[in-house]
A and B are shown apart, each in its own frame.
Chain A
């Protein structure tokens, strides 16, 4: 300590550099301490489960390495292809409706409506988001039951005489889109509206002086300027859509078994784990879904400039 002090005094001209070096080291150590709690959670519930799922998917129930056999086994399961097909059909309809409608609605709310009225609309559209998850499915079970539905006239005129007719397996993608749209679209409208608000007024003003009408402005200026937000929404909506579990699971319960219990890939993984006791197979299906989620995340992180990883 004393030696260090003398050295300190002797080379006083170097001190600022050294002090900066020690502060940096001190800050580095502190950095580790500050992130430690989160890092433990990340390891325990992010990294480790992923690694463990990979391990399970590459081995059998006795822990022997089996290569890609688990993946081949689940992919050849007669329920595997239909589950992915179901989810694809749902995803196409869900993405089309959520992207087109939220963008159109947000643009109208932003440019063609008095701010007061626009705020009321946004709030009312957004409100059902509070019922996300189980609650939304239950509400829609009632909405789709001609016996109690406030739109039973509509259901009957579409040819659905009773609840059983509505809940036929072929209708599931439409029902799921209705539920997803009901709980999710309002939030996205609010977010898109926020993104539109970030476009400087001068830009819109300039377009108006150049003679662009509201629809031209929307098409040539507003939509291109929020393009990355639309991509952001589409990718998150896609990634979330691949993971459907609660909604088809509850519709299955309510349909008294007419809807397949393995309608979505996540349900199939659930059946593997809980009914067959086949954790290796369940892990293999999870890996397929994990890969889809990872691809989406990697796309957004690397291909868009939406996320800031380093402050410049």
Chain B
């Protein structure tokens, strides 16, 4: 009895050995694929362009090199990098404020008030939310161009503020956490609709507001297409468009235009790191937010 069960256990172990091996190899390969580029990127600014080519790709150079790369980068076009970072902050945070101010009340009203057209608004919101944001960029550009708004900061902030996914998240949140009966009771006690919203709904909205803020900020900080189309001047660029300009000023990728400039591979790598720091910091704390956002974005049936 003991013998046979022992034998079958051994057989089972043997039959899972090969699949296990495949799984281990797959996971290791994926791990290298995802992480090696990140490690390389973090190490690159500590080396000179020459060391990048000749040294071990995953070796540490020196802090002096890092300082030199920083000085080259910062003097590029008279502190353009800092201007781009400031612009990105203004656009993303400005849009974030407008998004929260519009999507929290809208999601609340869609979930807990009744008005004609509510369902239509909800369906349109859903459809626009699922469509990739890039689909509307060119039409929005054509519209802004028609109204002469190209090149103003509002041509970026206002389209960035339109965030149907945020409205939907707030809607789902209120529909599932705030029972209508509480509002009905408060109404009978004489609360105005405005008081219901500010005293009952808003204090509850903190977690979903944080979720909307995370998705909105990350999406807008990384957005390239719209600002690329509507902002003609370098001093208005957000960092993403600025990075693109750095790319075309790097001799390794553009020998003609890049000649004579100090922007080489280490400087470019450093610029990438600086550009992603705000998003990276958010990402370190946001994995849970991603799951709850995406799984709430589409509810279980």
Residues of A that sit less than 8 Å from B by CB: 23-24, 26-35, 37-39, 41-42, 44-50, 52-53, 56, 101, 104-105, 108, 112, 121-135, 138-143, 145, 147-152, 182, 186-187, 190-191, 193-195, 198, 213, 215, 228-229, 232, 235-236, 239-240, 242-243, 245-246, 250, 253-254, 256, 266, 269-270, 273-274, 279, 282-283, 285-286, 289-290, 292-294, 296-298, 300-301, 304-311
Q: Quote the shortest CB–CB distance from A233 to chain B (angstroms).
A: 9
Q: Is the CB of A293 within 8 A of B298?
A: no
Q: Does B7 have its Cβ within 8 Å of any Cβ on chain A?
A: no
Q: Which residues of B contact A198 (CB under 8 A)?
A: 295, 300
Q: Is the CB of A125 within 8 A of B34?
A: yes
CA distance A145 to B57 in the complex (A): 12
Q: Is the CB of A35 within 8 A of B244?
A: no
CA distance A85 to B41 in the complex (A): 33
Q: Which residues of B contact A243 (CB under 8 A)?
A: 132, 134-135
Nearest to B131 among chain A residues (CB) is A293
CA distance A285 to B139 in the complex (A): 10
Q: Which residues of B contact A130 (CB under 8 A)?
A: 276, 279-280, 282-283
The residues in B between 241 and 262 inclusive whose CB is less than 8 angstroms from any CB of A are 241, 243-244, 247-248, 252-255
- The residue among A47, A132, A138 with the most chain B CB atoms within 10 A of its own CB is A138
Binding-face segment, B62-70, B73-81, B203-211, B220-228: B220-228
Contacts A46-B136, A49-B139, A130-B279 known; A31 to B44 CB distance under 8 Å?
A: no
Q: Is the CB of A37 within 8 A of B272?
A: no
Q: Does B158 have its Cβ within 8 Å of any Cβ on chain A?
A: yes
Nearest to A56 among chain B residues (CB) is B142
Contacts A52-B139, A134-B243 known; A30 to B283 CB distance under 8 Å?
A: no
Selected contact of A49 from candidates B142, B244, B300, CB within 8 Å: B142
CA distance A279 to B141 in the complex (A): 10
Contacts A45-B140, A150-B58 known; A125 to B38 CB distance under 8 Å?
A: no
Q: Which residues of B contact A304 (CB under 8 A)?
A: 298
Residues of B that sit less than 8 Å from A by CB: 16, 19, 23, 26-27, 30-31, 33-38, 40-41, 44, 52-53, 57-58, 98, 101-103, 105-106, 108-111, 113-116, 118-119, 121-132, 134-136, 138-143, 145-146, 158-159, 161-162, 164, 167, 172, 175-176, 187, 193-194, 197, 218, 222-225, 228-229, 240-241, 243-244, 247-248, 252-255, 265, 268-269, 272, 275-276, 279-280, 282-283, 287, 290-292, 294-295, 298-301
Q: Is the CB of A139 within 8 A of B103?
A: no
CA distance A112 to B295 in the complex (A): 23
- The residue among B26, B130, B254 with the most chain A CB atoms within 10 A of its own CB is B130
Selected contact of A266 from candidates B44, B138, B265, B279, CB within 8 Å: B138
Selected contact of B247 from candidates A48, A53, A253, CB within 8 Å: A253
Selected contact of B135 from candidates A147, A250, A286, A305, CB within 8 Å: A286
Q: Which residues of B contact A46 (CB under 8 A)?
A: 124, 128, 136, 162, 164
Nearest to A266 among chain B residues (CB) is B134
Q: Is the CB of A37 within 8 A of B269?
A: no
Further contacts, 16 of them, CB under 8 A, given A129-B283, A215-B19: A27-B187, A38-B102, A46-B136, A49-B139, A49-B140, A101-B30, A134-B275, A142-B265, A186-B34, A239-B130, A243-B134, A253-B244, A266-B134, A266-B225, A274-B229, A311-B111
Q: Quote the shortest CB–CB distance from A167 to chain B (angstroms).
A: 10
Q: Quote the shortest CB–CB distance from A44 to chain B (angstroms).
A: 7
Contacts A133-B222, A266-B138, A309-B122 known; A298 to B127 CB distance under 8 Å?
A: yes
Q: Is the CB of B224 within 8 A of A50?
A: no
CA distance A44 to B164 in the complex (A): 13
Q: Which residues of A contact B222 (CB under 8 A)?
A: 132-135
Contacts A282-B142, A307-B126 known; A148 to B53 CB distance under 8 Å?
A: yes
17 contacts between A and B (CB under 8 A): A42-B124, A42-B128, A49-B136, A53-B139, A126-B283, A132-B218, A134-B244, A138-B272, A142-B41, A150-B58, A191-B291, A198-B295, A243-B134, A250-B247, A297-B126, A306-B299, A308-B172
Q: Is the CB of A135 within 8 A of B187?
A: no
Q: Is the CB of B143 within 8 A of A49?
A: yes
Q: Is the CB of B126 within 8 A of A142?
A: no
Q: Is the CB of A289 within 8 A of B135?
A: yes
Contacts A37-B102, A152-B57, A240-B132 known; A30 to B287 CB distance under 8 Å?
A: no
Q: Which residues of B contact A195 (CB under 8 A)?
A: 295
